[in-house]
Amino acid sequence: MSHVFSADEIFEMAEQIEMNGARFYRVSAEKVDNKTDKEFLLRLAEMEDDHLKTFAAMRTRLSGEEKESPSFDANNESGLYLKSLADTKVFFDKDMDTSSIEGIYKSAVMAEKDSIAFYVGMKELVPGHLGKDKLDTIIKEEMGHITTLNEKLLGLKK
């Protein structure tokens, strides 16, 4: 039997993704010696903190009915999609390589991709009045993180 998520649960998952991302970047920053890498990772952590605040604000605007509603979509297709992401531990701790800066950047790229996949699915469930456009902004920022992380990875190989 599938689990049907409420809007409140979906925003809670999004908040958890951002908390885990910020924690990953901060822990990783503690493990690197290079000042530039450390500052870059801490900037990424701050961006994840900002995303967390955005989702928390969106969550507080949910009406009582939206908090209790079993799902926004009648066939629960988006809910099932998010459940499959949840089942693959998108928003829980992952086994991430933090033994080197290359491992940190590669792990970060994978985590950012997973968060984008979650947010794209989430967009189908979020009504416009709750800030669907903010999800687009967060997705673009996460895509920017991937671009920057990939540039950093390429720079390591030179």
| CATH entry 1.20.1260.10 includes domain 7-156 | yes
Rg of the chain over CA atoms, in angstroms? 16
52: pLDDT strictly greater than 70: yes
Question: Which tens digit of pLDDT belongs to each residue from 28-47?
Answer: 999 999 999 999 999 999 99
User: What is the residue type of 116?
Assistant: I
Q: What is the dihedral of CA 1, 95, 28, 22, to 10 degrees?
A: 0
Query: Who's near 137: CB < 8 A, 6+ residues apart?
Result: none
93: pLDDT strictly greater than 60: no
Q: What is the mean pLDDT of the chain?
A: 80
Q: What's the CA gap between 121 and 138, in Å, rounded? A: 13
